Structure 1
Amino acid sequence: MHRGLLASADRAGDLSIAEAIDGANTVVVLEGVGDHENIGSMFRNAAGMGVDAVLFGNGCADPLYRRVVRVSMGHVLRTPFAHFEGKYTNWQHGLTQLKDEGFRIVSLTPDDKADHLADALSDASGKPYHKVALLVGAEGPGLTEHAMRATDQRAKIPMAEGTDSLNLATAAAIAFYERLRSLSHN
């Protein structure tokens, strides 16, 4: 249903990871996220909470699919994004590029053994890391062990007893907010 409005445009060329993260302090990396609504919500939340770029690992849906554009309220057209090269078991090698640029890489997981999200975004003295990359995975399977091993730290969002996880876009929004909050308190 186009509701009386139809447009056609040439697709812009893809950005490289280096171009997408140029000047960035906070980025989100998605792995295996195939749900268009989650991707659209991720872009909308990222734009609203100061995330500078969205990076795609293996197995993610097209960020320029029409449903993504609609759910993102057009923010997918304004927020830089790029794709890591590689397949399921090796795209994570590209995360070294983020480490080389000074990013602290934090994977989000509901694992009880993971660190509290607020603690993962700051160093031992409580000072927030200058650059942070937050990794999120698809609802259900979450991040692969390959991806989590490539990160500096695993973090969890504290949850009420009897609840083990949140919707992906909601969990990412909480992480974005916590990152923004940590920066504004220092």
Structure 2
Amino acid sequence: MNTNSVQFFNTNPVDVPGGAVEIILAAWQISNSENIGKIIRLAHNVGASQALFIQGDENHRLSKIKKTAGFSFDQQNWSFCSEEEFLSNYLPYYDIAALETCDGATNIFTTQLPKKILLLAGSESHGIPEHILDKINHKVVIPMPGGCKSMNVSNALSVAAFEWLRQTNYSL
């Protein structure tokens, strides 16, 4: 049995839906450089147009990000921006879904996600600030029936991104 993923996907291409389908993966003030690298790699996996990191004054080691992102570091469009840049350049122009455990959040598996979406996850320890959540129309949560009610930010974005892919009718 051949388990080479490059060869597998070369012989079993993924059907990409036509039309206005786009995803941007974004994360709010991520403190762990490895999580940034994982999100860059995830964005590359799902065909995201961008991976965006809304940061304050955090200092990240690019070598650690690059090590985790692998070759996606140079292949995927990704960038850091300030809160002000996010509010002026993204919030007014994108259909944003906040991935957050908050009042008004709906189950991601039963909520119809927009075909053009910016998926926003919160920081590892503080989530998305309330003043930002107040400006976002879509709030979704991943149901967690087990004993642990939290998930690593890169894992949560993975679940959400692949649920979006499922809903937009990608197929193998």
TM bracket (short chain): 0.7 to 0.9
Q: 1:159 to 1:62 in 2, by over 3 A?
A: same
Alignment match of 2:149 (pick from 156, 164, 171): 164
1:94 alignment partner in structure 2? 88
User: How many matched pairs?
Assistant: 152
Alignment match of 1:179 (pick from 156, 161, 164): 164
Structural mapping, 1:3-152, within 5 Å: 25-59=22-56, 61=58, 65-86=62-83, 90-94=84-88, 97-100=90-93, 103-111=94-102, 113-120=104-111, 122=112, 128-152=113-137
Contact 2:36 2:65 in 1 (8 A): yes
Gaps of 5+ in 1: 1-22, 123-127
Deviation (angstroms), 1:185? 6.2
- 1-side partners of 2:142 and 2:36: how far apart? 20
Over the matched positions of the two proteins, sequence identity in percent amounts to 22
After the TM superposition, which segments of 4 or more aligned residues of structure 1 sit over 4 Å from their partners?
60-64
Cα offsets for 1:59-89 (capped at 9, x unmatched): 3756770111110112121111233344xxx
Task: Output the aligned Cα RMSD.
Answer: 2.6
2:109 aligned counterpart, secondary structure = helix
Task: Give the TM-score normalised by structure 2.
Answer: 0.76
1:158 aligned counterpart, secondary structure = coil
2:87 aligned counterpart, secondary structure = helix
2:7 alignment partner in structure 1? none
- 1-side partners of 2:91 and 2:166: how far apart? 22
